[in-house]
Amino acid sequence: MSSAQTFGDLVRDWRGRRRMTQMDLALEAEISPRHMSFLETGRSRPSREMVLRLAERLELPLRERNQLLTAAGFAAVFPQRSLDDPGLAAARRAVDLILAGHAPHPALLVDRHWELLGANAAAESLMTGLAPELLTPPINVLRASLHPGGLAPRILNLVEWRGHVLERLRRDLALSADPRLAELLSELSRYPAPPAAVGRAHGADYGGVAIPLRLASEQGPLSFLSTTTLFGTAVDVTLSELVLETFFAADDQTARVMGEMAAARGAREQAA
């Protein structure tokens, strides 16, 4: 969004993205439609509390709430600190524990733009053999997943996995309106798509309740189900944008192979 947009412009834009009328937002914010109209046109100046109330009703991410406050003439209230900041030390420890404790299965930490911030050894092992440019920081895990030089040639259910990734990215974009996500979505959508016959319908596995990631490997097919963890009560911008992706073995074969790979890594480390 343009930095030149006024508070009213931003509210109107977000209201449109949320498919809300002025009346809808006024009712949600418990103000009159007339006052809502005056806020959007600039005839009324919002209080700090009103800005935060509208931001909450519009379900804006913390970064965008700060932008709304700034546009209204107020200071941002949600801090944005580096993940290495002492104030986020407890969160960093929690992340490290999850990444390490999820072994022997893959787990990774990404930011708002799906750029890799951390990964355990199991996740790193699955990225072996990717094109060097995909592993040059900042590493974007969605790009690495769907790029022809990335995991794509090894994904056995590429049609459904590609659809899952693109749909998730569309949801992220709808929530944040982040131009970098829009660029990423455009880029990934242009990657060569496999014939529909190669994949299966969404949710065909596991009774239609989940889309697995199925990978070819030297040890045979590997199948994973993924979960997403967020810091749901975060009041720091950086913390609110962290995403932990953890993958679980979806069958006994995958569990066995991942255990064997972890044991082999441990043996190599001991021998070094």
Cα 211-214-218 angle, rounded to 5 deg:
170
Q: What is the pLDDT, as a whole number, of residue 269? A: 84
Q: Calculate the alpha carbon distances from 229 to 100, 212, 247, 248, 265 in Å.
A: 15, 17, 11, 13, 27
Q: What is the pLDDT, as a whole number, of residue 243? A: 97
The pLDDT of residue 46 is above 70:
yes
Query: Does residue 11 share a domain with residue 141?
Result: no
Query: Does residue 247 share a domain with residue 126?
Result: yes
Q: For residue 37, which of 14, 49, 53, 21 has the smallest C-alpha distance?
A: 21
Residue 103 CA, distance from chain mean position: 22
Q: Is residue 146 part of a domain?
A: yes
SS (H, E, C) 112-144: CCCEEEEECHHHHHHCCCCCHHHHCCCCEHHHH
Query: Does residue 65 share a domain with residue 130?
Result: no
Q: Is residue 79 part of a domain?
A: no
Q: Rounded distance, CA 26 to CA 207, Å?
A: 42
Name the pLDDT band for 158 (thresholds 50, 70, 90).
Answer: very high
Query: Does residue 244 share a domain with residue 127?
Result: yes
**Token pair 């209080």 in the structure block, residue:** 47
Query: Does residue 28 share a domain with residue 131?
Result: no
Query: Does residue 106 share a domain with residue 50?
Result: no
Q: What is the pLDDT, as a whole number, of residue 142? A: 98
Q: Rounded distance, CA 255 to CA 148, Å?
A: 27
The pLDDT of residue 218 is above 60:
yes
Q: What is the pLDDT, as a whole number, of residue 1? A: 53
The pLDDT of residue 197 is above 60:
no
More confident residue, 109 or 232: 109
Q: What is the pLDDT, as a whole number, of residue 80? A: 96
Q: Is residue 240 part of a domain?
A: yes
241, 90 contact by CB (below 8 A): no
The neighbouring-strand residues paired with 222 are: 215
Average pLDDT over residues 212-240: 95
Q: What is the pLDDT, as a whole number, of residue 230? A: 93
CATH number at residue 249: 3.30.450.180
More confident residue, 270 or 272: 270
**Strand pairing category for 222-229 and 107-110:** unpaired
Query: Does residue 208 share a domain with residue 106?
Result: yes
Q: What is the pLDDT, as a whole number, of residue 252? A: 97
Rg (CA), the chain: 22
CATH number at residue 25: 1.10.260.40
Domain count, the chain: 2
Residue 141 CA, distance from chain mean position: 10
pTM (predicted TM-score): 0.89
Q: Is residue 220 part of a domain?
A: yes
Q: Report the percent of the chain where pLDDT is more than 70.
A: 94
Cis check for the bond before 195: say yes or no (omega within 30 of 0). no
Q: Is residue 78 part of a domain?
A: no
Query: Does residue 185 share a domain with residue 131?
Result: yes
Query: Does residue 91 share a domain with residue 66?
Result: no
Among 39, 71, 103, residue at a domain's last position: 71
Q: Rounded distance, CA 256 to CA 140, Å?
A: 28
Q: Rounded distance, CA 38 to CA 50, Å?
A: 13
Query: Does residue 149 share a domain with residue 123?
Result: yes
Average pLDDT over residues 110-135: 96
Q: Is residue 128 part of a domain?
A: yes
Q: Rounded distance, CA 181 to CA 143, Å?
A: 12
Q: Rounded distance, CA 38 to CA 52, Å?
A: 17
Range of the domain at 189: 86-271
Structure tokens at 127: 């990225």
Q: Which of 106-115, 126-135, 260-269 has the lowest mean pLDDT?
A: 260-269
Q: For residue 29, which of 42, 9, 15 has the smallest C-alpha distance?
A: 15
Q: What is the pLDDT, as a whole number, of residue 78? A: 98
Query: Does residue 61 share a domain with residue 92?
Result: no
Q: Is residue 2 part of a domain?
A: no
Query: Does residue 38 share a domain with residue 97?
Result: no
